[in-house]
Amino acid sequence: MKYMFARSALALALGSVFFVQTANAADPALKTEKDKQSYMVGMSFGKQLKEIKNDVDLAMVQRGLGDSFNGGATLLTEEEATAVSNEFRTMLQTKREAEKVKAGAENTKTGEDFLAKNKTAAGVKTTESGLQYQVMTEGKGAKPKANDQVKVHYVGTLLNGTKFDSSIDRGQPATFPLNGVIPGWTEALQLMPVGSKYKLFIPGKLAYGDAGQPAGGIGPNEVLVFEVELLEILN
């Protein structure tokens, strides 16, 4: 297969082996190693196609797969399939971009409303950039500079409370240069003496902006909330 979702058999096997769960190995349908390997290939394709499940008809996907797999006549020629693939890719890109713009506008409005209200909450301070923070514990150590490397513990959540990252859950503090993170962190950490713990409310423009961070579950222009403890300045 030459089209946009095709992968080599070796890539499928290597890329999907971790999706096969031990709990399913005893299923009566998986009688042989070939059964397991075949099911693994199907799982891999299914995982890829899940992202576009509203844009394709599963029955036709299965028919196209079967026709090509069996080497029989196909409903599209090679040239026609290539043209359809290009059109489909363009359609998906256009659709995703429209969804992203819509989500960005909605997140911007939600974020602005939240920050306007949060600005009046007890103990919340707002900087000139729009960053908001609340002192949970005030340390007595030095404050880092923008080019310093720091060690911190943190928990990051969305406004709806969804946790998207946590060094505490990983059981290991994070270390990084302050000038290598999102602008809201670079600004906020320079306000914190070592030993401090702050709650940060970071506007989308000081976080991941219009792009968001889809892999981390962060949409475009989303306000992020962090509890950050500055453990050490590493120089």
Q: Which residues does the annotation mark as catalytic?
A: 154, 164-165, 182, 208, 226
Contacts of 223 (CB under 8 A, 6+ apart): 107, 110, 111, 114, 115, 158, 159, 201, 202, 203, 204, 207
Partners of 149 in beta bridges: 177, 234
In this structure, the number of other CB atoms found within 10 A of the CB of residue 3 comes to 15
Distance set, CA 179 to CA 23, 187, 216 (Å): 45, 9, 21
* One-letter identity of residue 114: F
Q: Alpha helices of 50-178 — where are they, by DSSP H?
A: 58-70, 78-118, 167-170
Alpha-carbon gap, residue 41 to 179, rounded angstroms? 43
Q: Shortest CA distance to 38 belongs to which of 60, 68, 59, 69?
A: 69
Structure tokens at 48: 């890829």
Q: What is the DSSP letter of 219?
A: -
